[in-house]
Chains A and B, each alone.
Chain A
Amino acid sequence: MIEKNIWQKIWQKRLMYLFISPFFLLFIVFQFFPLIYSMILSLYKWNGLGAREYVGFKNYINLFSDQMFLECLENTFFYWALSILMIIPVALIIAAVTFVISSKRIKTYQTILFLPYVSAAVSIGLVFYILFDHNAGFVNNILAAIGFERIPWLVSTKVSKFPVLFLVSWRAIPWYMLIFYSGLQSINRDLFEAAKIDGANPIQNLMNIIIPTIAPLAFFCLINLSIESFRRFAEPQILTGGGPGSSSMTLVQYLYINGFTIFKLGYASAIGYVLTFILIIVSSFQLRIMIKRSKEGV
């Protein structure tokens, strides 16, 4: 029997391929092609109009002597690390509390808790802007009332990242709370009954039942949050515009400025590829830990 080549195999199942082709067409046009095209572009100097100038790896080399890029890189890592430390534990605690509370109004509470996630980023950014204003902001008024110095939240390069971090956390916690809550609902209630009989307290329940059960979910949240953190754009853009200076600017903001304000498309593409490289490293590192842990669990 003659073995069919790949094209013959495809032709044999052409109808099936025809039906799945819309996805692949869209993928090629909107994802695969831009991916390859931006890689090529990262080797050129081009303002989007006129002729392109081939510069080799100069865009990549220049990045590492660009003070703004290095600061944005540092800021991005700052947001990533701090948002993981703030969002995951708080989301887990709120999810656990709403899970154990037996109240008729629990759905109402959950809806209220979820509101920050569905609120428009622009309007919330404006509210935070007013809250953190140096002279008239609510936060500084509270600090002044209890005897502390007013903090120049949005106008100091030293502290401008914190309001952004608060805004990010405030918006993201409800989403991760919901994920954890759905994970908690999958825990067999009998376990809690058995723990109650054994005299376990809430902390022991959390450490010995809840956390081990939802560990895979927590890793999913960790990876998801990491990817989100490295792609952070809206919150710092709305609240501080990345400033003062570039003290609260993320890599994606810097990419955007280079691509669509300065129109250095090659340079912006190089930033995009550095970002992709970082994401691959961070995600694969986290995935390796996850796989290792799941094997240990088996």
Chain B
Amino acid sequence: MKKTKLIMIVLTMVLSLAVMGCSKSTQVSNDGAFPAGKMTLYAYGQPHFRQEYYDAFLERNRDIAPEVEVEIIQTEGEADVRQKVMLSFTAGAYDDLPTAISTNPVSMQAMAESGILKDITEFLTPYSTKLVDGALEQVSFGNSYYGLPRSVRPNILFYNNEIFEEYNIDPARMSTIEGWLDVGRELKEKSNGTVFLSYIDPGSRTWRYYGRRGVMPQAGAKIWDDEGNCIIDSDPGSRLAFNTIDTLYKEELVLKSAIMQPPLYDATRANKIATYMIGAFWDEFLRKNLPDMEGKWRTLPSPMYENIGTRGAPVVMMEALIETKNNIYADLYLKYWEDFTFNNEARITWTKSMEKQNAPYPNPISLEMLNDAFWQLPSSYYGEESFRQKEGEGLQNASVNLRVTSDDIEADIIISNELERYLSGDQNMDEAISNMAKNIKSRIGTTDPVQ
């Protein structure tokens, strides 16, 4: 009998502790201030550099958030963020969910459709005229906004000025893709094949940087038609884009080496790579990995096809708010976004600090802020040229990004797989394009084209 009583007491204690542990109090103070606690962000890339801005923002707003801290939880990538959020939601562990997450258009759509993200249309709409073109292009699903744009970064042509001076080539010739390819041929000839126009990655980054974010939007390419059918093999824009990659590779204008890896940096340092046609984010990688090349690099807006006439498509980085009753800091995060987007003084202070640390920082997306002289200041890394000004110019006459659907992650894997096989010599470009279409149709079929 004693044993049974003992067991019952132990079980009752365990149960009580479990219940107490599961219940989280959400105190809201009477003076309208946000309650003490942590505003959490799941993010990828190099988000730790943003901590400085979050901390400074909270210090400036101690009247409304006297005891709030910001915690950035670094994740492996975008898929990891979605996985974490999804598992917490499926498990009903709403207390574990963060205030906001970094995400991309595909995952944003999937999560918005499932009711995980907060609809911020009412908040964001008044700002639509105050932001740079394309800022709100990829943050919507259906007729609502779910993403807070943090940066809108264009595709840019980085070129090694020393190489162009050595071989007496005018960089202005690279204003078109056709001109860029011609420059590559001339460099190859003049250097006896030791200088390459650019690089090509044997892995998935070729599709990401040369394809989806590169020549595909510039060529007006389409993976899906308006009914959601795969048309990658019949669309003339896609053909044009893939033929450009084919020319680069077949004519040996590019060094086959993985991007963001030491061997490519070594080749770059040895003046073997003349240009990089890539997103503006590459600035961070150049400065960080090739500080000894300071003064050698210059930039141009990314080249455009002669017959199409639009430059590279911008990439929007965004955060989204989690839609739960427990998201007590959602409004505070919106205030943070307003501060980050429109507080010029705070942004300049933070940018200067990032510059000192050789850390990443994007241009502002506020049109008003971009007019400030600070965002046109010269940069010693680019031979006293203003990289920030060039980044702003890169957004002009931009191409529209490829249509994003909920099946695009899988489509990207299929397309990249065939492109990698092409680069490995297993098939020619025509076969690669045909296999892309065949596999997309067999594995995905049709998609829901609604964005």
Contact = CB atoms under 8 A, between A and B. Distances in A.
A241 B420 CA distance: 12
Contacts of A47: 110, 406
B443 A66 contact: yes
A245 B113 contact: no
A67 B439 contact: yes
Contact of B7 (A18, A243, A245, A246): A18
A30 to B, nearest CB: 13
B421 A244 contact: yes
A42 interface: no
Interface string B359-394: 000000000000000000000000000000000000
A244 B418 CA distance: 9
Contact of A134 (B256, B262, B410): B256
Interface string A218-245: 0000000000000000000000110111
Contacts of B406: 47
A48 B257 CA distance: 36
A147 interface: no
Interface string B305-317: 0000000000000
A263 interface: yes
Interface in A125-162: 129-130, 133-137, 152, 154-158
Contacts of B420: 157, 243-245
Nearest to A62: B443
B25 interface: no
Given A49-B114, A156-B424, A244-B203, A261 B263 contact: no
Given A154-B202, A247-B424, A48 B410 contact: no
A247 B426 CA distance: 11
A297 interface: no
B202 to A, nearest CB: 4
A15 interface: yes
B442 A263 contact: no
Interface in A229-283: 240-241, 243-247, 257, 260-264
B438 to A, nearest CB: 9
B202 A243 contact: yes
Contact of B426 (A68, A157, A264): A157
A65 interface: yes
A134 B255 CA distance: 11
A134 to B, nearest CB: 7
Contacts of A50: 113-114
Contacts of A264: 410
A263 B82 contact: yes
A178 to B, nearest CB: 32
Interface stretch (B83-91, B128-136, B141-149, B181-189): B83-91
Contact of B424 (A48, A137, A155, A260): A155
A15 B3 contact: yes
B425 A156 contact: yes
Contacts of A240: 203
Given A155-B256, A243-B202, A260-B83, A136 B110 contact: no
B423 A244 contact: yes
B409 interface: yes
Given A48-B86, A67-B439, A244-B423, A263 B203 contact: no
B410 A262 contact: yes
Contact of A263 (B110, B202, B263): B110
B413 interface: yes
Contact of A245 (B114, B261, B409, B417): B417
B348 interface: no
Nearest to B77: A261
B440 to A, nearest CB: 12
Interface string B243-265: 00000000000011110011100
Given A243-B203, A245-B424, A262-B413, A135 B257 contact: yes
A241 B7 CA distance: 52
Q: DSSP class of A's interface residues: helix, strand, loop or mixed?
A: loop
A246 B202 contact: no
A243 to B, nearest CB: 5
B116 interface: yes
B204 interface: yes
B79 interface: yes
B267 interface: yes
Interface string B396-434: 000000000010011001100110110111100000000
Contacts of A244: 202-203, 420-421, 423-424
Contact of B86 (A62, A154, A158, A263): A263
B3 A134 contact: no
Interface in B44-64: none
Contact of A48 (B90, B413, B414, B442): B90
B266 interface: yes
Interface in A15-59: 15, 18, 47-50
Contacts of A129: 261
B163 interface: no
Contacts of B89: 49
A158 B410 CA distance: 24
Nearest to A160: B424
Interface string A56-89: 0000001001111000000000000000000000
B111 interface: yes
Contacts of B111: 49
B7 A49 contact: no
Nearest to A154: B202
B263 A49 contact: no
A264 B417 CA distance: 18
A49 B421 contact: no
Contacts of B409: 261-263
Nearest to A15: B3
B202 A49 contact: no
B202 A261 contact: no
B90 A245 contact: no
Contacts of B261: 129, 133
Interface of A: 15, 18, 47-50, 62, 65-68, 129-130, 133-137, 152, 154-158, 240-241, 243-247, 257, 260-264
Given A155-B258, A243-B202, 17 more contacts: A47-B406, A48-B87, A49-B116, A65-B442, A67-B439, A130-B262, A133-B257, A134-B256, A152-B202, A155-B424, A157-B420, A157-B421, A244-B202, A244-B420, A244-B424, A245-B420, A262-B413
21 contacts: A18-B7, A47-B110, A48-B86, A49-B86, A49-B110, A49-B111, A50-B114, A65-B442, A68-B414, A133-B257, A134-B257, A135-B255, A135-B267, A136-B263, A136-B267, A154-B202, A154-B258, A243-B203, A244-B424, A260-B79, A263-B409
**Chain A to chain B: the 6 pairs with minimum beta-carbon distance, closest first:** A49-B114, A155-B202, A244-B420, A157-B424, A245-B420, A245-B421
